[in-house]
Amino acid sequence: MKICVLPGDGIGPEIVAEAVRVLQAMDLNIEMEEALLGGCAVDATGDPYPDATQKLAQAADAVLLGAVGGPQWDGNPREQRPERGLLGIRKQLGLFANLRPAILYPELANASTLKPEVVAGLDILIVRELTGDIYFGQPRGIEMRNGERFGLNTMHYTESEIRRILRVAFAAARKRSRKVCSVDKMNVLECTQLWRDVAIETGREYPDVELSHMLVDNAAMQLVKNPRQFDVMVTGNMFGDILSDEASMLTGSIGMLPSASLDANNKGLYEPCHGSAPDIAGKGVANPLATILSAAMMLRYTFADEDAARRIESAVKKVLAQGFRTGDIFEPGMKKVGTRQMGDAVLAAL
Ligand code: IPM
Ligand code: MG
């Protein structure tokens, strides 16, 4: 198993180091090699996704990523921003299927800002399309028109792009509660009318899975009103970006949520849902669990080693049950630990 490790910016190197230690402790035949992506790559080479990183990422079976971005690069031209590196690797590797599970660990029920009875037992999988939509649509830009600045982006989807992500959602639902909610804005946007039409057609291939549809504004509301009505939610790139941040907070901390971005052959990029948290970078206090859980998703999806994935997930549950908490999920009475100590606790539990 060849893994390309991209620590990235901010807290990225700290949290990735813990996930790497966990993978090394698993007794698997893994080869890991590090490279630069994001702001650190811009600083070193002027390019957020340099050639050397591209070569390594393309040759690897899977990519483990920390996070990219930080205020020091916000003023850069767009091609030299860290986010461009992330979008570049997703697009180049064809990672169209982004899986973002939002699971509430019973031990963290009080960390959610919602009432425990609303979120207890929460287990949602957001399936976000990741290589299309307004994120990549042309034309785009800021230009002068009629003597004023004019900003432009383009939302588009082909039916094959919609169908392949819907199929990922239906297949995932078959391993869960067999419910898919497809999210669109068909009352206003033609592009998402097509999304709904193709969702309905694709649904006919999966008669055993219940398909429903929801407009994105209502979906945002339903997620806080009654999140447990959802099993699998599937949506486009931009709506998925927004709804997955919202869903993550139902669980109390975005610091707990892993993600997988897969191509058609289960090659994948695995990263925590959270960002680079520049405010706490280098302090050793960031929560490494989302990255460690991302490594578990890697073992499950790319390396088809369900057993190993579960060993990591059980270890994480165990350290939560033992009361170990980083600052983001801390409650009085628990044991407050830093990034490294949290990694130590997971290794001990393993
Ligand atoms: C995410 C992030 C990225 C996105 C940014 C950093 C480009 O918000 O992975 O959700 O918008 O996809
Ligand atoms: Mg986002």
Return the pLDDT at 283: 97
Between the CA of 241 and the centroid of ligand 2 the distance, in Å, is 4
pLDDT above 90 covers a percentage of the chain that reads: 92
Catalytic residue at 51?
Answer: no
Q: Phi and psi (nearest 5°) for 315?
A: -65, -40
28 CA to middle of ligand 2, Å?
A: 31
- Segment 311-319 mean pLDDT: 97
Instruction: List, by residue range, all CATH 3.40.718.10 domains of the chain.
Output: 1-96+263-350, 106-253
Distance 248 CA to ligand 2 centre (A): 10
Q: Which of 48-57, 93-102, 227-236, 252-261 has the lowest mean pLDDT?
A: 252-261
Active site residue 241: yes
Kindly state if the Cβ of 43 falls inside 6 Å of ligand 1: no
246 lines ligand 1 (CB under 6 A): no
Q: Could you tell me the pLDDT band of residue 255, with boundaries at 50, 70 and 90? A: confident
The bound ligand whose nearest atom lies closest to the alpha carbon of 128 is 1
Measured CA to CA, the distance from residue 57 to residue 38 in angstroms comes to 14
pLDDT at 345: 98
Burial class for 77, CB neighbours closer than 10 Å (0-12, 13-18, 19+): exposed
Index of the ligand 1 atom closest to the CA of residue 83? 7
Q: At CA 285, angle to CA 281 and CA 287, rounded to 5?
A: 100
Q: Was domain 106-253 assigned CATH 1.10.1040.10?
A: no
CB 324 within 8 A of CB 342: yes
Count CA atoms within 13 Å of residue 193 on its CB side.
4
pTM over 0.85: yes
61 lines ligand 1 (CB under 6 A): no
**Res 110: pLDDT:** 83
Joined tokens for residue 90 = 């997703």
Between CA 342 and CA 18 the distance in angstroms is 8
Residue 350 has what pLDDT?
95
CATH class of 1-96+263-350: alpha beta
- Does residue 83 have a pLDDT over 90? yes
At residue 181, the pLDDT reads 98
Instruction: Please determine, for residue 240, whether its predicted confidence score (pLDDT) is greater than 90.
Output: yes
Which pLDDT value is given to residue 248? 87
233 Rama sector, left if φ>0, alpha if ψ -120 to 50, beta otherwise: beta
